[in-house]
A and B are shown apart, each in its own frame.
Chain A
Amino acid sequence: MSTIMARVFSAKPAEQAPIEAIPGNALLWLIASFALLLVPQWDRLPWWLIAACAVLAGWRWLAQKGRVKLPGRLLRTGIMVALIGVYVATVQGRFTVDTAASFFVLAVGLKWLETRSARDFYVLFFIQVYLAAVNFLFKQDIAWALLTFAAIGCLMVGLQILNAPDLPGSLRAGWKRLGLLVLKTLPVVVLLFVFFPRMAPLWSVPLVSGEARSGISDTMRPGDISNLAQSSERAFRVTFGGESPPYRERYWRGLILDYLDDETWRQRDSDGFRRPARVDNDGGVGPLQSNEYDILMEPTDERWAFSLENSVAVSGNVVSTPEDLFRFQRPADSPVRYRLAQVSSEPAPAEALSPAEARRYLQLPSSGNPRARELAREMSAGLSHSEVVNTLLRRFREQAYFYTLRPPTMPDDGIDALLFDEKRGFCAHYAGAAAFVFRAAGIPARIVVGYQGGDAGAGGDYLIVRQYDAHAWVEVWLEGQGWVRVDPTAAIAPSRIESGLRDAVADEGSFLENDLTSPQRYGDIAVLQWASLQLDRINYNWQRWVVGYQGQSQMDLMSRLPGGFGLKELGYLTAGVVGAALLIAGVVSALSVRRGARKDAFGRVVVAWHRLCEQVGVPVRTGETPATLAERLSEARPEVESSARLFARAVNSHYYTVSTQEASAHEARRLTRLLKTMKRQLRRKSEPASRMPRHD
């Protein structure tokens, strides 16, 4: 029985096997992208959330493999309620960008259990793309950025697999296709990035983070800074317009502690209420003058900016304070660049301190540390202020004081214990003790907290200042000289000031002893050092030129181009770039279509044949087959009969077979020859010659 009869007689066609709504490979790439996107968030997400996401995504994957079932509605609701409950319990009403981000991640995690159809796949795709954007809010290093772009790549490959699940070799082809697409569109992306006008924020958006940042703080207890000394994280990077100052002059002043409260130094006037908003990232433009320097600071969530002595602000995002310090308008919640200039190394002519200032810088707790007070009284008897300072420094230099990262604990009357018993301490100990003694001796004194030092980055273009460069020292007010820097650490451990912490504690072996992974710990391994510095240079340039490409730098770049672009012109330019790109794409595709048409040599020969027919008085009728046209042609001009028939047959066979490109080209050549023969035959006939036309 033939197939048709069988079909007529058969019952309903068999039910189709159920197709998996989402191909497994596509899901795998979606999960991979999710995992990659979570990596940059690892330190800000609570651990239970990461675990929950892993379990939920794993569950979905096992369900895909058929090992487990996706939960029913009841169980799903239960899981959702439980996780949101845990979330609410841990958030405890603190709404920061962090908690918002973790809620976002939680939503993605819960969505895994509901991913059944292609539509759900797209929902997850969109959420993950936005998650990538959220990642950029927090992590802008080149490594994290590359990771995030890789995740986007995974998403795009996943989409391709979703749309053609059974295409063989779709994985490699997918990456290749995506790569080519990116390469082709890259020029437009770069142009858009450069020319798209960087507008001011449409509305104020705080980026308050609950994340604890390592760095100096606005209080100082003895021992605080020695904790910091165990961290090799970057604090900031500096580029100098001219020569960088010698190592011992690299004192980066951050803030001033002027109030001693029992054992703790703090600020008398704290920075006050901080309106949450974004820090101004426009850190000045153009080449650096020889006395200028440019600092790219890691986020601190504080307003202070670090500066050398005798600096003035160049970029508009920092303002100076009466204490010769610099402040941002808003806390630095993201890497921020600013620019300062050193005016002269001579201190400005000093005026006398006002009584209020004198009180402020002479404040001491009413009791405690009697031996230190006694020492101050002894020293100040009959000596000028500067002589007292020198006496104390000489005491530090000549007696057996030690600079150590492992100071003993000195619970009661710590300054007394340090000065007279233990004689072992870190910069914070000595600075605090020195300021105490000076104040007790009637010399206005204050603690300066900041960094001291900085190592050259790759190529020596810039300095890297790390957390272990954190330092505290003293400034005293001397009549006629103003505030003068006094660093007791320099007296006790000159190597700390001359070449850094590593050399200062080399004997002790305590440099970065708790941080096994830091490349700085292995300073003697040259390759490691070199690689780490190269990596840092790439990151520095990335931060300066890509991440930091904001309004001012764009304007600066534009001002160097001829034509003087403003924001409005940039808008036009962007529209122009997009328009031109689309136009070029359109023209290219139209040309390729034309070329395709031109490539069809076959069609051209047929058209030429039609023209020939018209010329000899055989009009081509619409819808006429080649055979009938050949018939009519040979009726009109019998001399071309054979070649016209051959021609028509070749045209027919071309149209009714699927032939390869090569065969087609061959046929076209044959047709062209036939057409030439026809023309020759026609010419010969019209010539008044007696010889017979020869057929070939």
Chain B
Amino acid sequence: MRNSLNTRWRRWINRRIPRADSQILSQKNIFILPTAAGVVYGLLLLIMLITGINYQNSLIYLLTFLLGALFVGAMHQTHRNLSGLSVALVRPGEGRAGDDVPFLLRVTAGKDAGLGLVLSVEDSSVEGVHVSLGESRDVVLPVPSAYRGYLRPDRIRIETRFPFGLLKAWSWLRPASSGVAFPRPLPAPDTAGTVHDGSEAASSAPVSGQDNADLRPWREGDMSQRVMWKRFARTGQMIVADWQGEQGSPHWLDFHAFPGVDTELRLSYLAWMVADRVQKNARFGLSLPGDTIEPDSGSLHGERCLRALAVWGEQPPRDPDGQPFGTRQAENGKAGVSA
């Protein structure tokens, strides 16, 4: 029962607040309720009114009415704090799975200042954001991530309790773009981590020379361009050529280097190796089933590899809601993926 109510409530909210990377807060999508302190305040006013009635004390009446009116005024003020504010996801962040991934948000004031704002997602929050009239402010919000892959918080909550903390007004930004959580690096057991594939000795000796390639049997995930189809026609065996010997002998970091290891663990190993290679400023390539990154070096290359590891096998999150006119196009982790 509670669950179904919750679901309906969520659905209703989602209808009211479509996914978009920027949102202007207005009466339509601002919610306002008294806080616990506000409820106690109401009870206190009731007690004071009874005191005033019982002691026939005009000044207590006056005080009660004044405080009551201040509460209503505060309601207006708290609402105005959010109303007209525009919140935009400027850059979704990238980071390690399990850590907080920083998302860059921009809060721009409308016709009123937005004071005492709290941006939060799940249990991480940024407090004390103040945007004065006609200004905008960039806020880095750490978004907790549990798993590697696309990271798109369902809702980023923007709340204010200013001025008195007796009322809270809040709204949500439901971002359309997603950040990326890299696999958590774990030191790989095998120092080489290259194509050494256990018993398979076919490619044990790295071949140096322009025309030589590492030949090995086809495995799931190998790209069809690399299959030596002529040989297949001849022998019926799918042999794949790894052209790793093209320039010097860069190390290939290969998904298949860890036989029998769980996929996520493999990705973690690879992430560690990528970071390791970048630190040593080594040249390396990354070979994932369905995705290969040509050898290169430098931190940009490393990031590209990490992104590829992060989103491997993942679908970019989609939402049935259309994006309204004027929405920023998502700039997600696709940049590093070469098809």
Contact = CB atoms under 8 A, between A and B. Distances in A.
B303 A661 contact: no
Interface string B27-64: 10000000001001100100110111111111111111
B278 A623 contact: no
A623 B328 contact: no
Nearest to A134: B51
Nearest to B329: A625
A313 to B, nearest CB: 20
A2 B278 CA distance: 10
A162 B161 CA distance: 10
Interface string B285-298: 00000000000000
Interface string A82-121: 0000000000000000000000000000000000001000
A7 B275 CA distance: 10
B95 A8 contact: yes
Contacts of A185: 66, 69-70, 72-73
A4 B56 contact: no
A47 interface: no
B250 interface: no
Contacts of A192: 65, 68-69
B328 A156 contact: no
A164 B41 CA distance: 20
B130 A593 contact: no
B164 interface: yes
A201 B185 contact: no
Interface stretch (B3-11, B77-85, B200-208, B210-218): B77-85
Interface stretch (A431-439, A469-477, A545-553): A545-553
B306 interface: yes
Contacts of A550: 56, 58
Nearest to A184: B73
A201 B52 CA distance: 9
A166 interface: yes
B55 A5 contact: no
B70 A164 contact: no
B322 A189 contact: no
A481 B306 CA distance: 117
Contact of A623 (B50, B55, B134, B322): B322
A160 B163 contact: yes
B273 to A, nearest CB: 12
B322 A193 contact: no
A163 B315 CA distance: 42
Nearest to A1: B299
Contact of B66 (A4, A189, A548): A189
Given A129-B67, A205-B54, A661-B134, A623 B324 contact: yes
A201 B164 contact: no
A491 to B, nearest CB: 46
Interface residues of A, number: 76
Contact of B27 (A5, A7, A166, A593): A593
Contact of A181 (B68, B70, B300): B70
Given A5-B303, A181-B77, A189 B55 contact: no
Given A164-B128, A596-B84, A5 B322 contact: no
A526 interface: no
A203 B111 CA distance: 50
Nearest to B183: A8
B72 A582 contact: yes
A278 B303 contact: no
Contacts of B134: 660-661
A546 B328 contact: no
B57 to A, nearest CB: 6
A486 interface: no
A13 B96 CA distance: 12
A160 to B, nearest CB: 5
A174 B68 CA distance: 19
A481 to B, nearest CB: 43
A343 interface: no
Contact of B47 (A130, A140, A181): A130
B300 A2 contact: yes
Given A8-B185, A201-B55, A164 B66 contact: no
Given A4-B95, A133-B63, A202 B56 contact: no
B26 A199 contact: no
A328 B87 CA distance: 67
B299 A8 contact: no
B60 A133 contact: yes
A622 interface: yes
A201 B128 contact: no
B128 A165 contact: yes
B284 to A, nearest CB: 14
B275 A278 contact: no
B76 A163 contact: no
Interface in A500-548: 546-548
Nearest to B41: A126
A130 to B, nearest CB: 7
Interface in B72-122: 72-74, 76-77, 79-80, 83-84, 94-96, 99-100, 106, 108, 110-111, 115-116
B325 A623 contact: yes
Contacts of B73: 181, 184-185
Given A156-B70, A167-B115, A122 B40 contact: yes
B54 A202 contact: yes
A540 to B, nearest CB: 15
Contacts of A549: 58
Contacts of A202: 50, 53-54
B71 to A, nearest CB: 9
B55 A137 contact: yes
A4 B333 CA distance: 14
A165 B84 CA distance: 23
B258 interface: no
Contacts of A7: 95-96, 99
Contacts of B63: 132-133, 136, 148-149, 152
14 contacts: A8-B96, A122-B165, A136-B57, A145-B59, A148-B63, A156-B70, A164-B130, A178-B163, A185-B66, A185-B73, A551-B56, A585-B72, A585-B76, A590-B27
6 cross-chain pairs, A with B, having the tightest CB-CB distances, nearest first = A185-B69, A164-B116, A136-B59, A181-B73, A192-B65, A2-B299
Given A1-B299, A7-B99, A198-B56, 17 more contacts: A4-B94, A7-B96, A8-B275, A164-B128, A164-B162, A166-B128, A189-B65, A196-B61, A199-B53, A201-B54, A205-B55, A278-B55, A278-B56, A550-B58, A551-B56, A593-B83, A623-B322
Interface of B: 26-27, 37, 40-41, 44, 47-48, 50-70, 72-74, 76-77, 79-80, 83-84, 94-96, 99-100, 106, 108, 110-111, 115-116, 128, 130, 134, 136, 161-166, 182, 185, 271, 275, 278-279, 299-300, 302-303, 306, 322-326, 328
Interface of A: 1-2, 4-5, 7-9, 12-13, 118, 122, 126, 129-130, 132-133, 136-137, 140, 145, 148-149, 152, 156, 159-160, 162-167, 174, 177-178, 181-182, 184-186, 188-189, 192-193, 196, 198-199, 201-203, 205, 207, 278, 281, 546-551, 581-582, 585, 589-590, 593, 596, 622-625, 655-656, 658, 660-661
